[in-house]
Amino acid sequence: TDRITIDHIYEVLRCYNASAPIAEAIHKPAWCVPFAQWHCMEAADRTPRYFPKGQEAIAVSALGNPDSFEHTIQTFGCQLVGSIRYDDHYSYTEADVAAMADKAAAADAILITTEKECC
């Protein structure tokens, strides 16, 4: 989102309430956790372990806005070489996971997904 769009949002909000506080937030992931480590950790122990900057990656998602997720992957320095998209809240099958692994191996890339997709 560029500054012009944000300023326009402010203008529209001010039409409804001229004095209400408006907060801006930035979504910026700081790190990744390899699945094998994530799967074995307690939630409180999921501290930064890995940052795949410079690596080729395939995005795997079942999100309402996969474009945003894929852009996020690129912003932390991965080269996005493919994506696997499913409908929002899709339940992966064993065949899906095997296909993901095959696609990653064929591209010599890592798979990146969200914590939501791992649960």
- Record the tokens describing residue 118, joined without a space: 């791992």
Mean pLDDT of the chain, nearest integer:
85
pTM (two decimals): 0.71
On whether residue 17 sits in a domain, the answer given is no
Region 85-110 average pLDDT: 93
Q: What is the mean pLDDT of residues 52-71?
A: 91
> Looking at the 3D structure of the chain, how many domains does it have?
1
Q: Map 7-26 to HEC letters.
A: HHHHHHHHHHCCCCCCCCCC
The owner of tokens 């930035």 is 26
Give the whole-angstrom CA distance, residue 86 versus residue 76.
Answer: 23
Is residue 58 in a domain?
Answer: yes
Residue 43 lies in a domain: yes
Residue 52 lies in a domain: yes
- In a domain, residue 108? The reply is yes
